[in-house]
Structure 1
Amino acid sequence: MTGSAGYRGPPRGALVDPGPAALTAENRWLRTRFARRHLLDLAAGMLAAQMRLPPSEAAEYLDSLSQATGLPVEDIAADIVNAVSGDGGPSVTAVPGTDGHHLEGLAERRRARRTAAAAEAADTAGEAARTLLDGGLSALGADSLWLWRRTGPGCLRLIGHAGVGAAEAVAWQWIPPAAPEPFRTVLADGTPVWLQDGPADGSPLPGPSARAARALLPLTRRDRAVGVALVGWPGPTPLDPAVRRAVAGLLEVAGTVLDTEETDPTPAPVLVDVLDALAHPAVLLRLRGPHGTASVEHVNDEAVATLGSAAPAVGASLARAFPLVHTELGRLARRALSTTHPQRLARLPVAARPGEASPLLDVRVLPAGDEHAVVLWHTVAAPGLAAARAVARLQSVAPFRDSLTGGETVWAPQAYGILGMDRAEAPVPLPDLRDRVHEDDRAALTKLLAVLTERQAGAQAVLRIVLPDGTVRHVQVAAEPLIDDGVVTAVAGVYQNVSDSRRTEAALTATFDHLTALHDQSELRHHLALQLQQAIVPEVPGLQELPGGLVVAARYRPAAEEYRVGGDWYDVLALPSGKVLVAVGDIAGHGIDSVTGMVALRNAQRALAFTGHSARHLMGWLNEVTLRTGGGTTATAVCALYDPQDHGLVWSSAGHLPMLLLREGRARLLDPPQDILLGAVSPFTYREQRIGLRPGDTLLLYTDGLIERRHSGIDEGLTRLAGEAERLAGRETDLLVDELLRTATGDTDDDTSIVAVHVRGGQPER
């Protein structure tokens, strides 16, 4: 093939055992060949029309031009299409010039035309977006591309993106008619909007920062506006006329590829949020009928990180997403939907071959409604590096070592928190944990010890540890024997708190198991909301370290009545600016609508916080989100930003309870600005206040479930909370929130969230 490059297929007659890398390369080669054929056919068609030649003679004339000029046939084809399209290309019979600027301009136009041809040949809008970004826009400094299709009067749906994280794509999946001003301008006027320093009015738009450059262009099809494209740059960027022409030229084909995308229902945002919260890979599949095709509808960040360049695109078929195991995965998914029970396999593919990529381990396929299934798995990389990364990421991992000859046991400090013990107690050898293990798991502990000491082999087990307060914690024990002269002299290993992942998986499994088994729709909705909220708003185990010497502990307690699920949420997040977001909120009402609204507001607040704007601006935008997506719902919230540079905390409140500051053993309520609830009126300008935090200070944020009583006022509940906080002053931060939650006087059967933020550097915690 003249001028082609890349993978050319296997040698003729060779016997090949294709692994994932080879299949990916072959697929890329086939797509390149298809895009090349598309460009050549387009050029030949233009020649045939201009020169009144049959199509076969036009193709031969194209080859003769390539031979006469010495240029690749693809370059000749690109020049012809550019010339006919009025892009300033040379005439059909022109001889290439020798001027450097002229040649550089020709090369740029040819590259743009080849990129456009490849995008037009894409199967999905997502593939087209990646082609346009990688083949053309990235050379202009852009790092992201979004494609929305118009689905109604002023409403846009995201159907393709590149250079964008999965969570951010979910947050901008839909743009309602009350869109930010730049979107409305493009849709109303049909003209591009160029923002070299970001939107002047601070309108929230996708991108890394408020001042990052963006370009919004209308996408047309047959002279009709069918969507909007947004090109993003990593920071402020001059968008001169040459850049604007290049961007507009590349995106001319985007309106065409919008029509190639199928109209699929958007995956439920609650379910997407759950999958994105998982610490292991997950993919959401959609199956069309018992024997129809399966396609990828969502890929979480862990799956993208695990699969790398082989990560499937949203909208890709199952065969393209997992070429080696798609048959088995499809069978498991259809069986899961037909039986309404999870399906499991130890590994896929079942038999590994030399040179293949790591298999999918512990594969679970869960039914999620009538047409959707969730695929969960684990993977394995280089043991040393994988272990180092895992330990660095997991706060609930603690190494230990038991000496069987000297009787000495050594624990890492985290082990005390994992096993619910005071640090003043002596470490307990693994065999002596029997009294703390749930009676149903003691046989598993005995088997684990037998493998270590009798078989002298490594082993692991998940044991339920009964804590002093009666609660149960799932702890995974992984250990290896230390052998000297054939005798086991010690055992070394780690304890890991896996309660959160167990709760999340149990919530998913329990929820999906009941989707078809329960017939009472009201009960189903409430039960689903309860399970998902427990998975979405988990406790923060132990203490969480954040920039600026902050230590955070957070707890969530669901309502006492099983189906009175509320909309409590909290968030503690380190931002790129160096500041720390601390927020608590409570949506009015109960049930799945409250949980869905909670997820929307929590995700919106997270995304808006990355703009770097003040607390009052974030609250104002959150009010607009509540008005436009809440269906009449209202909510209270407090949003605070802590700056480690000057130790200042600036906060804004929307009708929420006052924060409580615990300083030098004294508790003080911080009266918030008397501003209205979220979702009450629009527009509304929220106020903000500032306080300087000192080393040793502890700040408490909470929801009304902690203090409300049926037969007393809010003021009495706040007074009781302040008294309890002073009584417990000096406790470790995690013990402080546990004790406050245990002694909470609220009796309204409402959800309760509590977040404690402690500034290190004061008196040592006791």
Structure 2
Amino acid sequence: MDPGFAALIAENRWLRAQVAHRRLLDLAAGVLAAQMRMSTSDAAEHLTALAAATGLSAGDIAADVVNAVAGSDELADAVPTGRGTTAAAQITEARRARRTATEAEAASTVSEAARTLLRDGLSPYGADSLWLWQWVDHGCLRLAGYAGIGAAEAAAWQWIPPGAPGPFRAVFTEGAPVWFEEGPSRGEILPGPSAQAARALLPLFRRGKQVGLALVGWPGPTALDGTLRRALTGLLDVGGTVLDTADSVRPAVSAPVLVDVLDSLAHPAALLRFHGSTRAPTVDHLNDEAVAALGSPHGEEGAPLVRLFPLVHVELARMVRRAVGTRRTQRAARLPMPAPAGKHAPLLDLRVLPVGEERVLVLWHDVSDPGLAAARATARLQSVATFQDNLTGGGTTWSEQAYGVLGLDRDEPPLPLEAIRGRLHRDDGEVLTDLLTTLTAHQTGAQAVLRVVLPSGAVRHVRVAAEPLISGGTVTGIAGVYQDVSDSRRTEAALTATFDQLTAVHQQAETRHQLALQLQRAIVPEVPASLELPGDLTVAVRYRPATEEYRVGGDWYDVLALPSGKILVTVGDIAGHGIDSVTGMVALRNAQRALAFTGDSPRRLMGWLNEVTLRTGGGTTATAVCALYDPEDRGLLWSSAGHLPMMLLRDGRARLLDPPRDVLLGAVPSFSYREQRIGLRPGDTLLLYTDGLIERRHAGLDEGLARLAAEAERLGDREPDRLVDELLSTATGDTDDDTSLVAVRVGGGRRS
């Protein structure tokens, strides 16, 4: 609300309160002027002096003065005097009653006065309704104001003819109240919630003349003792005065059922009357929430929109005309739009509904409704639309997005779900039938994807998700959502094709891996147990493939007894994994075997193997160690091409045999490799291995070699086959590389 307008409303309320306060002060001043024979101005000053001297407010002093001069007036005596009630409490209650009466006199309408009397005067006595009728021509009673009842009930008792009912005639004839503690007598009908509810009928006087009648109601039977009767009589003594504010010709209650519906709502609502395009709409009724939200008093019937909605009356009037002209509900997330923050509170989630030919309902919130906000958020998705089919004759409603989803022009009427059959792909008619059967026959929710053929000939995939609307076991409608899923369907098709391609590639790779594995096993078979070789040598070898991703690598090993009586022991590693590395490994291993039969030294074998790698490896490189053991003198002659040093276990100690610092196979052509010789003793164990055994991602090579040496010393007395198994399980690297391990034991050592 605009701060200026809010300030005017607050000022108006303050002025109205001041009018009631001033009225009470003037009445007390008049009493003092008459009693003390002084002017009214002197009496007003005396009233102020009394307030200052007693420490009470001027309003309390004025109420005491008026109540005292009333003497035997019921209002002064209408305070409960039961056990525990003090004199001070009685005086306080009497002051409240007098202020209530004065405020009612200052009200601008009879209904406003009735609400004041009920809220501040009668409710403490358990009353929940008040009716005020005025005598008019020919002895009829016309309802002038009411509080605590619905508009429909008020409309039913708008007029009371002279002949009925009996209690009204009795009050009018005798001029005295009639009390019904347990409801009226059998056959007599009076307004009220039930036949047994307590009621009180009281005559209303103005200057000694009976001008009307009041009815006070309770929710049930109530004991109406003398104190309560005096209180009600005193409070309603002002009733004749407030009837003077009634209009000379008061219109009948407007649309009473709608008024009651609006009054039952928990959010602001207004009933407007539409006067055609030449006049602005006017207000027929505001519920209590609207009164609180707008800061307007009750009794604004007939007021123009500009008075109650000064900031949005132009936009609101436009929505009213559109609602009446199209017979469709108009909606706005907020008015005004946009609304600068902090300056005024907008009308949120506004809806304007046509009612009949002349009226519209205006509903809004002062706090955003999460459900409506979520619905608007859904509507923002261009591919999502809501719909509702009324199967009992109410037609079909769509959100605006439905036209775009189904490819219809906005001038076309919404189509029921069944009617879109003619726009579907010829193969989807049965899908729609199954969907409708599930919704209507099985009475349960369902969804399906339908292909809608657009006027251009393009096909759009639309998901329909719907729920049946059920009343009394019968499906009365269908509510649901249309969603354009064409993009996701195209994406799904593309992903399916991609997946098929990936599957084919995976199958090809799997075939290559299986082929490489079979080839590797054929060329470098695993040796499950130790080999006994000439020269009292025992050899155990193990090969562990690379991780599952690669399956096979380029490691190889060979142990071969040559015609010369010497024994070839070799280990090598080609860079890379897969079928290419396996085929390179096979070429090098076979070449080395063939060259070894020449009887030449390890350094010559390594030189020839380097040339083979350069000419057949396709740019690959490899490391290798080649050793020749002579059983005659237990001498070991060996050469290395960039490979890890061999490890010698002797007398429980492990040491590395530093190799010559020569280059990798396939790195430099015509390279001359060097060789070294070492004598072995009975009980010595020689370990040849590849880097998969010791390498770790976050540790240096020296650390891996030290760990291997420690484990070898701990396990050194094991037989070669047990030694290699336990070393593979304890001294392992973590680079996911394949591993070859060869253990050569010279006879005559310790056994376990």
TM-score (norm 1): 0.44
TM-score (norm 2): 0.45
Task: Compare CA radii of gyration and give the structure with the larger one.
Answer: 2
